[in-house]
Amino acid sequence: MSLSLHDVTVPAFLRALDNLSEILRKGEAFADEKGMAHEDLLQARLYEDMLPLTGQIQRASDSAKFVPVRVGQIENLPMADEEASFADLHARIEKTVAFLKAVDPASMSGREEAEVVVKTRSGSTTFTGKTYVLGFALPNFYFHVTTAYAILRHKGVPVGKMDYIGRAP
């Protein structure tokens, strides 16, 4: 039996989002313990031209949900990118997880060679389902999850590699 595009994405997204949620909880607890304003973590960036922590969570969420939308051609769940608190970020992750869990694996079945067009401000790029998932969506998702982790780690939140990776399923 071969792996489907659903098999290589949705379970990985769910696991990483669960780990990200736990990392955020540790960040919030750290801020509370240190008397740090939550805003100091939520708006923290690794570099001035990068998105803050809130933006990293929003982009990770979008990256995950756009896979079944673009590959499986299912209806998107729009989110307004207005998260301003840890509670808001947790709610966004929960909505993303619920969305992903509701995806019918059959919607992505046999879509490896289907055309996927990604439109951005600078133009559009055409992929196959397989090249989109493996060459764009998964790297983009993990970039934003990793950057969120790195922002919290950089600010002193006591998280480590196993928090990022999580425990074996």
Per-residue pLDDT of the chain (169 residues; tens, 9 = 90+): 588 999 999 999 999 999 999 999 999 999 999 999 999 999 999 999 999 999 999 999 999 999 999 999 999 999 999 999 999 999 999 999 999 999 999 999 999 999 999 998 999 999 999 999 999 999 999 999 999 999 999 999 999 999 999 876 6
Rounded to a whole number, what is the largest CA-CA distance in the chain?
A: 53
Residue 9, CB-side half-sphere exposure with 13 Å CA sphere? 36
Tokens of residue 58, six digits: 């929003």
Tokens of residue 79, six digits: 């989110």
Rounded Cα–Cα distance for residues 132 and 163 (Å): 28
User: Which domains occur in the chain, in start order?
Assistant: 5-165 (1.20.120.450)
Rounded to the nearest angstrom, the gap between the alpha carbon of residue 41 and the centroid of all alpha carbons in its chain is 18
